[in-house]
Structure 1
């Protein structure tokens, strides 16, 4: 009962004000952002200070800094505001052709240039007011996926990284190796010895961030000579061209790689295929708008899997 009484005394507009203050770190800029007068936002700040028993913004010289409590509130405030927005934007029935909803999706540049592009094209045809925001993930985002997906709509990532979250499989892909067009040391197929001796370009190289093919190379007893780590699949060919380096990329990116001074070669082992999937938080499962989006991704996955996206 006490929690209900506490919430009943709060004004949702204070959450909007708090988000602007934490983002702008200035009453003046926050007021401009919200199109409010400075005295009105100052009054909101005073109420927030009373509620939290904390100044939120502390003057340091000619500027203001967030207090330790305010720093802790920053992520929670953004998540709470987004959740509140979703609650009040929900409708009993939803017509995608009339919607202006924005879906936010985490993924890699590999996912964006393959299925992300196809999804955006399908949406533009059927729901021109619907928008997609594609956000690059990183190892920290993936490790915190269960929390991040509360305030975003999904994550495109292969199986092997996330568990205990709902998903829909999109398409399967294979791994291929690339070397420079000028590299005459390598024929049409890399040898195990060359994988050990030639320098590598890796996408990720941490305990929790890796590709399945790179992990398989190590499981075969090959310790790659890693010369470059670049957290971008599309950038890899540019680090290969004109060098002795070798890398492994997804076959769906092979058509793009061919125009970057590299050639596709075989591997001396059969790499395990990867199954790409769209993952989301369970709280979105029964949302009709989210369900429409998931169906769009599933359809796009069929297109990418057939190679028709190229």
Structure 2
């Protein structure tokens, strides 16, 4: 049977029911969420079970758990619903000034505190009804960016993590060290010995989440002793203050660090490769006039960003 014939036999309203059932893991709560009667949603669940030949929700004591297939469907269902919404919200003409569209962009708190903040300010001046939703990324999102970006508008992240997706370069930044004011092991200048012997605060630190400067140190033969891993650049100085630890942050965050008591920024004792930040998106959005407007907002934000 062709895909077209299969789809023609399906009630796409079942997608809405499936999403609610997988999210709530309860027929009662899913029915309340959709403002349907329990018998109506139970009937939808029966049709879904028949279609997938899988119970989807399996009773465990007094609650329900997702079957392995249902767990796999959870993310796909969210993406499919978002794609469907965008299909039916598309318009022949679009005006940013009168739009109420919400753009979803993944990124780190570093990206949000810099380019995203500036972009949202620009959008507020020209399109007051438009809303941005900035969602913190994580290693899973970065590793699966091609799939995740089908249902989101973009990902702010430096080059080196993603390939084969369209992007627009934003701004270049570089790395600084962060140490405590009272760290007596560090003098007027940071040394390579300091990097090798003092403990570290690291950001993210996984196979797909790392800093380019951290990789450079390893290539220089330095394996930092990491005391703390924190998935936040803005929180990092708090784990440095009052300790002998070293951390690394981007220069765009230096003014924020300067306002914090107990820490200072220093130049690294090696020539760290600069960071080139970019906005990445899925090709399905490339011809979307609304998405094109959003990309232009980020381009304009580069010229207004103070770094």
Range class of TM-score, shorter chain? over 0.9
Contact 2:201 2:247 in 1 (8 A): yes
Deviations 1:238-279 (A, max 9, x none): 111111111111000011112222111122222111110000
Confirm or deny: 8 A CA contact 1:158 1:275 kept in the other structure.
yes
More deviation, 58-67/72-81: 58-67
Number of matched pairs: 306
Across the aligned residues of Structure 1 and Structure 2, the Cα RMSD in angstroms comes to 1.5
In the alignment, the residues of structure 2 paired with residue 219 and residue 147 of structure 1 have an alpha-carbon distance, to the nearest angstrom, of 32
Alignment-derived partner of residue 212 in structure 1? 212
Superposed displacement of residue 143, structure 1: 1.1
**Aligned equivalents of 2:67, 2:195: Cα separation in 1:** 52
TM-score where L is the length of structure 2: 0.95
Cα offset, 1:286, TM superposition: 0.5
1:31 alignment partner, SS class? helix
Match of 2:103, SS state, is strand
CA contact 1:187–1:265 (8 Å) conserved in 2: no
**Which 5+ residue runs of structure 1 have no aligned equivalent?**
none
Q: Is the 8 A contact 1:57 1:66 kept in 2?
A: yes
Aligned to 1:178: 178
For residues 171-229 of structure 1, the C-alpha deviation after alignment (integer angstroms, 9 at most, x for no partner) is 11111111111123323321112211221111132333210111112212222222222
| Corresponding position of 1:230 | 230
Aligned to 2:158: 158
Q: Is contact 1:102–1:133 with CA below 8 Å preserved after alignment?
A: yes
Instruction: Measure how far apart 1:102 and its partner are.
Output: 1.1
Q: Deviations over 1:75-109 (max 9, x none)?
A: 11111111111111111111111111111111111
* Whole-Å separation in 1 of the counterparts to 2:184 and 2:72: 55
Instruction: With the length of structure 1 as denominator, give the TM-score of the two structures.
Output: 0.94
How far did 1:50 drift? 2.5
Deviation at 1:235? 1.0
Partner of 2:195: 195
Cα 1:116–1:18 shift into 2, 3 Å: same
Q: CA deviation at 1:51?
A: 2.1
Q: What's the offset of the Cα at 1:150?
A: 1.1
Distance (Å, rounded) in 2 between the aligned partners of 1:91 and 1:102: 15
**What does 1:46-125 correspond to in 2, within 5 Å?**
46-125=46-125
